[in-house]
Amino acid sequence: MNDGKFEKVADSYSKMFYYSPYYTMLAEFLEKHLGDATSVLEIGAADGIVAMAWNRLRESSSNSAPLTYFAVEPVERMVNIAKERAKEMTINFLPTVGDIEHAVGLAEIENAHIDGLVISRVLHEVFIQHNLDHERLFADIRRVLEAKHPKVVVLGIVNRYIGLNAEETRRFIEEQTKEIGHGHDPAKEYVDQNLLDVFMQSQGYKIIDRGGVTQPLNGFDPSPWGETITVYRAE
């Protein structure tokens, strides 16, 4: 599945990213486009950081509409932390152990209605597990779309960045490792946004919103490390 990198950071994951503007933007998109949804599914939910950020925003904006938030995450330790956090939330957050490939077959999810699908900073992990094959990654997403027909899909990806030389790539990975415990080659190991858009369009989804953030990276100006969040809606 993965090489243990997320087991290692299970206890500190949310703390590492607590102040990242990425989650503020993601929560705002979720509230804007899924604020009146009754059910969502998140894939690769880690320790519940996205649900927490959205729950916080809903509480501060007095949105108390009932929301069932299904979530799958392969790392059991993360799921256990997420379940503890669920107890403090107003939304009905239901994390369970599972991965993108098997998500729709899980008993908790199988018969559930889903208005929205959320996949945040996970697609590159699946892409790497599929030996950098976009088609195999898209097959995993397609399985969820065809089974669940979510009206709104929110995908947050780390940007592919082409143009660093070998030495810059080495430094990029080194600096990223200092920040988050592991690093990736930005030209090879991140998913291509254009291919993702073409794939989503081929599944009958159009882009209705998009935003981006840049993560500062020591020694790089401008920083090549950033994320893009895209909201797609079924046509």
Ligand X SMILES: C[S@@+](CC[C@H](N)C(=O)[O-])C[C@H]1O[C@@H](n2cnc3c(N)ncnc32)[C@H](O)[C@@H]1O
Residues that bind ligand X (CB under 6 A): 2, 6, 43-46, 49-50, 73-75, 78, 99-100, 120-122, 125-126, 129
Angle 155-161-162 (CA atoms, 0-180°, nearest 5)? Answer: 140
The distance of closest approach from Cβ of residue 228 to ligand X in the complex, given in angstroms and rounded to an integer, is 13
d(CA 79, CA 82): 5
The distance of closest approach from Cβ of residue 196 to ligand X in the complex, given in angstroms and rounded to an integer, is 16
Q: Which is nearer to ligand X, 130 or 233 (CB)?
A: 130
The distance of closest approach from Cβ of residue 103 to ligand X in the complex, given in angstroms and rounded to an integer, is 7
Strand order across the beta sheet in which 152-158 lies: 92-97, 68-73, 39-43, 116-120, 152-158, 226-234, 205-214
Q: Which is nearer to ligand X, 58 or 184 (CB)?
A: 184
The distance of closest approach from Cβ of residue 90 to ligand X in the complex, given in angstroms and rounded to an integer, is 20
The distance of closest approach from Cβ of residue 48 to ligand X in the complex, given in angstroms and rounded to an integer, is 9
Q: Which is nearer to ligand X, 37 or 71 (CB)?
A: 71
Cα-trace Rg, the chain: 17
Q: Which is nearer to ligand X, 11 or 201 (CB)?
A: 11
Give the nearest residue (CB) to ligand X.
44
d(CA 66, CA 52): 15
How many Cβ atoms from other residues are within 10 Å of residue 66's Cβ?
9
The dihedral through the CA atoms of 93, 119, 113, 231 has a sign that is: positive
Residue with tokens 């993601």: 26
Q: Which is nearer to ligand X, 125 or 163 (CB)?
A: 125
Q: Which is nearer to ligand X, 55 or 120 (CB)?
A: 120
- Name residues whose C-beta falls within 8 Å of residue 77's C-beta, 6 or more positions apart in sequence: 7, 10, 11
Q: Which is nearer to ligand X, 27 or 221 (CB)?
A: 27
Alpha helices (runs of H) in the chain, residue ranges in sequence order: 5-8, 13-17, 21-34, 49-60, 76-86, 107-110, 123-129, 134-148, 166-180, 193-202
The distance of closest approach from Cβ of residue 130 to ligand X in the complex, given in angstroms and rounded to an integer, is 9
Closest among 65, 80, 69 to 41, alpha carbons compared: 69
The distance of closest approach from Cβ of residue 167 to ligand X in the complex, given in angstroms and rounded to an integer, is 26
